[in-house]
Amino acid sequence: MRINKYSSYKESKIDWVGKIPSHWKIFRTTDLCYQNKRKNIGTVEKNLLSLSYGNIIEKDFDTAFGLLPASFETYQIVKPGIIILRLTDLQNDKKSVRVGLVKVRGIITSAYLGLVFNRKIHSAFMYYLLHSYDVLKVFYSQGGSMRQSMKFDDFKSIEIIIPPLEEQTAIAEYLDTKTQAIGKKVSLLEKKIGYYQELRKSLINETVTRGLDKNVKLKDNGIELGDYHMISQIPEHWSTHRLDWITTIVRGNTGFGKDELLDNGKYVALQYGKTYQVDEINNTFQYFVNSEFYKQTQIVNFGDTILITTSETIEDLGHSCFYNRDELGLIGGEQIILKPNPGVIFGKYLYYCSKEFRTKLRRNATGLKVYRFNTDDLKQIFIALPPLEEQIQIADYLTNKIFKIDQIIKNIQTQITTLKELRKTLINDVVTGKIKVIND
């Protein structure tokens, strides 16, 4: 196949589409499809499906969390060619991919809208077209105002552009080939990121438990092994100390007043491993003052390590951040701050140790929907401690190495973003007729 331009175009009068090839037609959705309403009465079908990141995936029927078998009678039975749309929570969620194409027979929640198109519509073409509509955020503003959700009656008046069936088929085949090729490249790049993330993790772990000298003599750590301390041997000139012996563990609030908050400190938000002053996110303190956030703040200083103590996912629990700012910071009382004891442990070395012991904290976390640990868990943590000068050397070494690894990861992420943008633009240009797909 090759691509070209169509010989003539006309105005579609659809804002998000623009001009279309002159021979393409415009229909309302209701002229092309009907809503799938076939229920799974008697639980006759047990191939459980779910919409995940724009793909319809199969799930284990027998281990579906929180659902009784009878619940699946309310699910809709779907077959290949049906298009699924998740048109709920439109007001709060503008990032989800809401369109999927069913490729195997099964059942899926009736909270999703299932569309059955007539024989003049190639299902894969319609999937790509509705996916493009989704990316362009068409579903978010139908009816002249923001909707929390859409039903079929809301959806059926949307205008759809349709080329002849032969062109639909050519477009679908072309996009299948191109998007699969882009998907493979993205997958390979994501695997590279995973490799470098593991490299970063193992580098930190090895360095804060063995040091920089690969030939150093080792000794037993001198403590009984347990869930919180798994280092069996350390360099012979190192010592082992419990975390609360070498740091001050802080969790609580400072009882600041409004004036003190505005005059003496900046609210610090922890996001993706970095700290931000509130005025770097929001130009005013208005939200935090009006919500009386200042009553729940605690002080954070240069050299402190901030720990995330609660998370909806076990993987994010114990995420840590080094506070690298000279000015006084104020952070939410829910977080735990580790303040290094001067002359005993170097702040940046402590931060890197936190990356190593977070695994142990996750192992002993409690909770179901929200996971957490507390200060008592931290008091059980043991750290391998070299002399202070060596701590500084290790911290400098890791900072330099990790900076280089993070730059590589950042470059790969940029490549992934570029490929995803290419995929989005390609799909939109082809399904709206901006470029023509030709069978050679």
Which segment, 40-49, 145-154, 275-284, 321-330, is predicted with the most confidence on average?
40-49
In the chain, % of residues over pLDDT 90: 49
Which among 271, 242, 273 is positioned nearest to 357, based on CA atoms? 242
Residue 288 has a pLDDT of 47
- The predicted model gives 203-210 an average pLDDT of 93
Residue 335 has a pLDDT of 81
In a domain, 167, yes or no: no
Query: Are 145 and 223 within one domain?
Result: no
Query: Are 261 and 360 within one domain?
Result: yes
Of 60-69, 192-201, 349-358, 412-421, which range is least confident?
60-69
Residue 326 has a pLDDT of 78
pLDDT at 20 over 50: yes
Structure tokens at 196: 């470098």
In a domain, 304, yes or no: yes
Q: What CATH number corresponds to the domain at position 325? A: 3.90.220.20
Q: At what angle do helices 388-431 and 123-135 cross, to 10 degrees?
A: 120
- The predicted model gives 73-83 an average pLDDT of 94
pLDDT at 145 over 70: no
pTM of the model: 0.81
Structural domain boundaries enclosing 80:
25-162
SS3 content of the chain, % helix, strand, coil (to 5): 40, 25, 35
Structure tokens at 258: 């409004």
Residue 290 has a pLDDT of 46
Residue 243 has a pLDDT of 92
Query: Are 379 and 266 within one domain?
Result: yes
Q: Domain ends where: 364, 385, 406? A: 385
pLDDT at 224 over 80: no
In a domain, 193, yes or no: no
What is the Cα–Cα distance from 92 to 135, expressed in whole angstroms? 16
In a domain, 224, yes or no: yes
What is the Cα–Cα distance from 198 to 193, expressed in whole angstroms? 9
Q: Domain ends where: 368, 385, 402? A: 385
In a domain, 283, yes or no: yes
Query: Are 277 and 359 within one domain?
Result: yes
Residue recorded with tokens 């005013």 = 284
Residue 3 has a pLDDT of 64
Into how many domains does the chain fold? 2
Query: Are 345 and 231 within one domain?
Result: yes
Which segment, 213-227, 244-258, 373-387, 392-406, is predicted with the most confidence on average?
392-406
Q: Domain ends where: 341, 361, 385? A: 385
Query: Are 289 and 359 within one domain?
Result: yes
Query: Are 269 and 365 within one domain?
Result: yes
In a domain, 309, yes or no: yes
What is the Cα–Cα distance from 29 to 159, expressed in whole angstroms? 6
Q: Residues 255-297: pLDDT tens digits? A: 555 555 555 555 565 555 566 665 544 444 444 444 555 556 6
Query: Are 152 and 224 within one domain?
Result: no
Residue recorded with tokens 């050519």 = 170
Residue 274 has a pLDDT of 62
In a domain, 98, yes or no: yes
Of 232-236, 279-283, 295-299, 406-410, which range is least confident?
279-283
Q: Residues 304-338: pLDDT tens digits? A: 998 888 877 777 777 888 888 777 777 766 788 99
CA 152 to mean position of chain CA atoms: 30
Q: Residues 160-198: pLDDT tens digits? A: 999 999 999 999 999 999 999 999 999 999 999 999 999
Residue 254 has a pLDDT of 62
Which among 415, 379, 402 is positioned nearest to 273, based on CA atoms? 402
Of 21-25, 32-36, 374-378, which range is least confident?
374-378
- Compute how many other C-beta atoms are within 10 angstroms of the C-beta atom of residue 394: 22
Residue 324 has a pLDDT of 85
Query: Are 250 and 344 within one domain?
Result: yes
Q: Residues 363-392: pLDDT tens digits? A: 777 777 788 887 888 888 888 999 999 999
Query: Are 158 and 258 within one domain?
Result: no
Query: Are 357 and 280 within one domain?
Result: yes
- The predicted model gives 69-96 an average pLDDT of 84
In a domain, 424, yes or no: no
Query: Are 107 and 227 within one domain?
Result: no
pLDDT at 352 over 70: yes
